[in-house]
């Protein structure tokens, strides 16, 4: 049920606590954009950006893994607790539900610099530790180990995790001997973007 995936960050010292909130306008990593024109059919947006026929999971995994130089500058893709919302510079919009019973949380651990984020933006968010190997340990509240392995952050510095929805976990990340742990939730009010894990703090 758990399929992991896997920014120059805006300099900012550790923002402690907090996990994830809102539409593209409220997403911590969202780019500023003028109000869009009336939305064209969702299919137009998906076709224009090469996403037609893809599931929400495929879209998220594809955009998260893009090299930075290939990230679209005219597309916003925000991961919500139960869907991925897309919009582009042409005013087109689409909203695609996540797979039933699954949630997606993207984590950007850091050493020196981070940024505020609540809903993960697949095309604008940047984390400090890009394409870095991490030891990842994830357990449920009753101690069941769901993940215990080495994973590599995406080019944007985020580590993407597909998790069971409506559950709580403890996540521990280790990099170069420095670790951080945090509670993590996947309910309807939980963040999908986690940028508060300062390694070695």
Q: Which of 74, 97, 120 is the last residue of a domain?
A: 97
Q: How confident is the model at residue 30 (pLDDT cuts 50, 70, 90)?
A: low
**31 falls within a domain:** no
**200 falls within a domain:** no
pLDDT reported for residue 175: 96
Average pLDDT over residues 174-189: 96
pLDDT reported for residue 17: 32
Same structural domain for residues 117 and 141?
yes
**13 falls within a domain:** yes
Number of domains in the chain: 2
**46 falls within a domain:** yes
Same structural domain for residues 51 and 138?
no
pLDDT reported for residue 198: 97
The range of the structural domain enclosing residue 59 comes to 42-97
**Tens digit of pLDDT for each residue in 140-160?**
999 999 999 999 999 999 999
Q: How far apart are alpha carbons 119 and 190 in whole angstroms?
A: 9
pTM: 0.81
| Residue from 114, 134, 132 nearest 178 by CA | 134
**34 falls within a domain:** no
CA angle 160–161–162, rounded 5-degree value: 125
Same structural domain for residues 14 and 90?
no
**188 falls within a domain:** yes
**Tens digit of pLDDT for each residue in 49-103?**
999 999 999 999 999 999 999 999 999 999 999 999 999 999 999 999 999 999 9
SS3 percent helix, strand, coil of the chain, rounded to 5, is 10, 35, 55
**37 falls within a domain:** no
Do residues 193 and 118 lie in contact, with contact meaning Cβ atoms separated by under 8 Å?
A: yes
CB atoms within 10 A of CB 47: 13
Same structural domain for residues 115 and 49?
no
């Amino acid at each position: 049920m758990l399929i992991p995936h896997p920014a120059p960050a805006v300099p900012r010292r550790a923002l402690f606590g907090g996990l994830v909130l809102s539409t593209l306008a409220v997403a911590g990593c969202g780019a500023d954009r003028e109000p869009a024109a009336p939305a064209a059919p969702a299919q137009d947006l998906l076709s224009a950006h090469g996403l037609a026929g893809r599931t929400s999971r495929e879209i998220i995994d594809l955009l998260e893994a893009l090299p930075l130089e290939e990230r679209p500058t005219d597309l916003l893709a925000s991961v919500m607790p139960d869907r991925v919302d897309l919009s582009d510079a042409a005013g087109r919009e689409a909203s695609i539900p996540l797979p039933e019973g699954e949630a997606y949380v993207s984590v950007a651990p850091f050493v020196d610099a981070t940024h505020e984020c609540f809903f993960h933006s697949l095309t604008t968010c940047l984390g400090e530790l890009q394409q870095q190997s991490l030891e990842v340990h994830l357990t449920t509240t009753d101690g069941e180990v769901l993940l215990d392995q080495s994973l590599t952050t995406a080019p944007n510095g985020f580590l993407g995790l597909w998790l069971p929805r409506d559950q709580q976990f403890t996540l521990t990340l280790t990099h170069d001997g420095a670790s951080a742990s945090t509670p993590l939730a996947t309910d309807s009010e939980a963040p999908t973007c986690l940028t508060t894990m300062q390694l070695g703090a």
